[in-house]
Amino acid sequence: MAPHHVLKCCQRSLAWIPVIFINLVVGWSYYAYVVELCIFTIPNNAEKISYLVVFHLFFIMFIWSYWKTICSRPASPSKEFCLAKVEKEQYEKEQPDAQQNILKKAAVGLPVYTRTGTGAVRYCDHCQVIKPDRCHHCSTCDMCVLKMDHHCPWVNNCVGFSNYKFFVLFLAYSMLYCVFIAATVLQYFIKFWTNQLPDTHAKFHVLFLFFVAAMFFISILSLFSYHLWLVGKNRTTIEAFRAPVFRNGPDKNGFSLGFSRNVVEVFGDQKKYWMFPIYTSHGDGHSFVTRLLTLDPEQIAVGLQINGKSSVDGLASPKHVLGNNINHIEGHQDDVAQMVTVTMESES
């Protein structure tokens, strides 16, 4: 029987087959469009140049976003989500009920608000970390991935917090790449099909190029539309199928802040960078703004300690924010343990 590490190596090598296939198809499409269509088939120089300019614009953006998605390493939980050595040793010795008590104490100082379906603290026994909100373990990557969306075989990578923007742009530019090819090839496809152009070596490439571009466009369009819907709702693919569970129960819209803020969370504040595969997403992947929180006294104490406040004044309006300020809480001490709703812009 082959050693485990040999099987792992073979598995990782085979995982690159879909990526190699995509790159071969893209390489052939580049040759077929630039050489066979533009150089050998299109007679008009002005049409030829205009096609080549736009084609290369889409091609560069498509390849750039595709390889950014592939090369961006999935973000994993930081060390603060790991149990201390003493806690870990104690955890391994205890029964499930006692283990949960250990996890609850360890999670008090962490921005963790989601739970398992049974209300337990989410813990990965394989990675030995308390899972941050929206974090899941990927068996293919063999690691916990922050804001995991899914594992995509076409990029041989997990799509999550570190590369979700790149993935959405990859879908957008691949769709534009395909629709531009199909639209500009169509008239020459018809001419070859109806024998208005002579049978040359370009005929096969032009005919096949149209079919491939149209087929990929249709398949990518549905996936791109689905992920635009997810962005607008601030959900991952996992959350779309299984609503995240908060202290007050499952809430499929728990992370939704309204359409515009949901888009900004993925693409950033500066719209001039939205169309480029440059990292501009909000946050650190460990904590997320939520619409509804049920805060217990320990969480309140942690929030006040982080913000350096010994007392609170004014109306009750707790808000979970990103960055170093994990919980910003302003409200009466008598009301802090109650469930509070953060006012967000209404969703359509």
- Which among 135, 141, 144, 152 is annotated as catalytic? 152
State the alpha helices, DSSP H only, in 234-342.
237-241, 259-267, 297-306
The radius of gyration computed from the CA coordinates of the chain, to the nearest angstrom, equals 25
Question: Can you read off the two tokens belonging to residue 139?
Answer: 């068996």
Give yes or no for a contact between 197 and 41, defined as CB atoms under 8 angstroms apart. Answer: yes
Q: What is the Cα–Cα distance from 49 to 38, expressed in whole angstroms?
A: 8
Q: Which residues of 268-302 are buried (b: 16+ CB within 10 A; e: fewer)?
A: beeeeebeebeebbbebbbbbbbbbbebeeebbeb
Would you call 144 a catalytic residue per the annotation?
A: no
Q: What is the Cα–Cα distance from 64 to 172, expressed in whole angstroms?
A: 12
Q: Under DSSP, is residue 162 helix (H, G, I), strand (E, B) or coil?
A: coil
- Catalytic residues, by residue number, are 152
